[in-house]
Amino acid sequence: MPVSPHQRLLVVDFGSQVTQLIARRLRELNVYCEIHPFQNVTEAFLKGFAPRAVIFSGGPASVLNSEAPRPPAFIFEIGVPILGICYGQQVMMDMLGGTVEGGKISGGGGTAEFGRAFVEPRGTLSVLEGWFEGGREQVWMSHGDHVSKLAPGFESFGMSPNAPFAIIADTERDFYAVQFHPEVHHTPKGARFLDNFVRLAGFSGDWTMASYKNEAILKIREQVGEARVICGLSGGVDSSVAAVLIHEAIGDQLTCVFVDHGLLRENEATEVVTMFRDHYNIPLIHADEAELFLSALEGQSDPETKRKIIGGLFIDVFQKCADEIDGAEFLAQGTLYPDVIESVSFSGGPSATIKSHHNVGGLPEEMGLKLVEPLRELFKDEVRALGRELGLPKEFIGRHPFPGPGLAIRCPGEITRDKLDILRQADAVYIDQIRRHGLYDKIWQAFAAILPVRSVGVMGDGRTYDYACTLRAVTSVDGMTADYYPFSHEFLGETATRIINEVQGVNRVTYDITSKPPGTIEWE
């Protein structure tokens, strides 16, 4: 096991939906951590990893089930601070001699708690520094079972109406446990709590994005050796950062492929290719494959069929490029942490199954290329920080995300070249408006979509029967959830007028005010 030179924190994963948020909060505190599924955390692993502190994540299981996931008992003997979160608290109590009772979900009589709750103090504790200044603290709970009797050595330091042991500690051994989730935003002082915990454990904050960069470069060199890598470049921030990072690691062993599938925005191909050719000396293949993609999409209107056609053709194009590059063994992708779905198999073998969402829509094994994904531990804003560390131009770092299938998923129903032209023009006017009003950097992503609807209008003295387009703009932290951007009516009115006046083929403009969930950001 390669061991990082930094002070290390181990997060033992019991399968919570929000485990990766623990890692993110710790990185914000400049603490190096690794998440490992509980099955992999053996005595030998612990000795090798030598953590300075351990955090147990939450998880969906119930300790009342004899099959429930448990860490090795040895973990309580290694003499480092441990923090148990939610299920992590329950498993800690169960293993150290306390009692856990079932809530409604596991069939017991206790009360489950989901969502916002308030915790009141029952004593002072160093990990609670900065807490309870205004009396009680808001926390986010999500539990069925609850601790009903503490293990020997533990005391309660905070309670909520349904969790008398919301915050507990054995200060002799530096074991702490909470029923709520300090890692989520809905626990406003959660980051402070984790900060207190890592400081108590003696972390000096020796991990930075500069260290991430250097370590990622070493890992890429180790993985790739002398082989050649091709990197699909979309012009979005993820693939650009991945390409520049890999280029720093292996130089000319990297070839970038920019696929123009005919589904790009106005001037996009020229902008991306020029920016890369002007700023970097990275071999770049500009694959103009618009005909290939657009003819395959003709007559298709089902969203999944469209995505599959595009994904399949991307692979064909990469394959063709790879065949032309002698020694190409790897395909690099800008996959991020939210794209990585980690499913821990509680009943199965010792290793976690990690499934990647691929930007190109899935990689068939017969493609014969191995993946290089140097950003798979990062969130979008961390990728931007890494981009700054690598010196990427500002205009690239701040670009709104653009999906691999491009305008295809902004053109619900059948895609025609006419519709794509109209959409490109409407989108360009919309983005121009956003820039002119100084709003681009306040918005996570904005775009126009052309709807498969034509409606009657009147322009001049004539009747029109043209397309309706819809505008979308959202705020988000990581694209997983989103809210619509609250433009002023003046802005919306001015933009609609400009689009209708400047874009032939559109006579109606709507603004999409759906959040995610229940909507998604894209229309397909």
Nearer to ligand XMP, 282 or 408 (CB): 408
Contact 23, 70 (CB under 8 A): no
Residues engaged in binding ligand XMP (CB under 6 A): 359, 401, 403-405, 445, 479, 516, 520-522
DSSP string, 129-154: TT-STTSSEEEEEEESSEEEEPPTT-
Nearer to ligand XMP, 214 or 520 (CB): 520
* Token output for 72: 């090795």
Nearer to ligand XMP, 69 or 403 (CB): 403
Residue whose entry in the numeric block shows the structure tokens 């990072």: 245
Give the span between the Cα atoms of 511 and 499, in whole angstroms.
Answer: 13
DSSP string, 455-500: EEEEETTEEEEEEEEEEEEEE-SSSSSBEE----HHHHHHHHHHHH
Give the span between the Cα atoms of 332 and 242, in whole angstroms.
Answer: 8
Contact 313, 296 (CB under 8 A): yes
Distance linking the first and last C-alpha atoms of the chain: 42
- Active-site residue 181, yes or no? yes
Give the span between the Cα atoms of 132 and 372, in whole angstroms.
Answer: 46
User: Minimum CB separation from ligand XMP for residue 384, in Å?
Assistant: 14
Nearer to ligand XMP, 106 or 514 (CB): 514
User: Minimum CB separation from ligand XMP for residue 55, in Å?
Assistant: 28
Give the span between the Cα atoms of 450 and 419, in whole angstroms.
Answer: 7
User: Minimum CB separation from ligand XMP for residue 193, in Å?
Assistant: 30
Choosing from 33, 86, 256, 321, which is the catalytic residue? 86
Nearer to ligand XMP, 26 or 233 (CB): 233
Nearer to ligand XMP, 206 or 483 (CB): 483
- Active-site residue 231, yes or no? no
User: Minimum CB separation from ligand XMP for residue 236, in Å?
Assistant: 7
* E strands present in 345-407: 353-356, 370-372
Contact 430, 506 (CB under 8 A): no
User: Minimum CB separation from ligand XMP for residue 338, in Å?
Assistant: 9
User: Minimum CB separation from ligand XMP for residue 521, in Å?
Assistant: 3
Q: Which residues contact 191 (CB under 8 A, 6 or more apart)?
A: 25, 28, 29, 182
Active site residues: 86, 181, 183
